[in-house]
Structure 1
């Protein structure tokens, strides 16, 4: 029964987020739509933002290190960025992320949960891709993997949080990969210069 209630709450959150956005997501609306009570909600989640973290993790599990090993740095980065494009263009993400990100500023525990469960695995996976590129001799040592992660993800976040700043499309994928490769200074580019 507990698993059914968890699923009902996650489903209700997804529907409300798609219909009205994060700002309209409330405990009262969730429990009404899921057919449960406020105490049942609070036994599972601290607040609606905590539920959204669980929803995003359930819908967008991260296994990049298992998936994106195409044999080359550039193609691995394209695979990562195409995955990011799919994530950031997901209607659920687009409707929830701007308000959700704002809620992270005031909740250290939630911010850490989101980082540990969502951001860190993506950053670690990108770091593994960079290490493979280094081992293959595609890039030189001395790069900052955290900066590369920021460079790859930052433009997507800006365009979701601030609609109208640019499109989320293949042009953005290509631009972010080119920017990362420029910073990484791949040997193939260095040798032809």
Structure 2
């Protein structure tokens, strides 16, 4: 499962729109490949896209919209997503998607601030800040990466919350003087 994370307005939805061919690519450079190949004309028949607002029909519940989408796009084995997307059921939906990703389906989604139990289900993470990639790689390496560039996550902090703090600028790298003060205090305590 591939998660795209970042603060509001960083470009998550725009990136997904481009990947799903739902946005005019005028002014953008680069190629979008599917399994290493240029996309074919029937690309959209292989891609499912669920938007954040009115999923399919505003008169249906989230559960009904998910069931409809699953029944249309997925095999019957995976068409039993019967949980709503309130916070208490989000993990169930994510576990279902995680299981589906293990069958060879690529799952890419945008998520703002998942709880830790959901965050640890991600295989890879693409972190954005102001339209720029701040990290792309295995989820289990993200904290080591940010630590190597001066941003350390506290022991009991949710890595997703930490990442959001860093990408929206709520965390500052320690200055050289602060680092020297910390080292001095550690040596003399």
TM tier relative to shorter chain? 0.3 to 0.5
Tell me the TM-score normalized by structure 1. Answer: 0.33
Tell me the TM-score normalized by structure 2. Answer: 0.33
Bigger relative CO (Cα 8 Å, ≥ 6 apart): 2
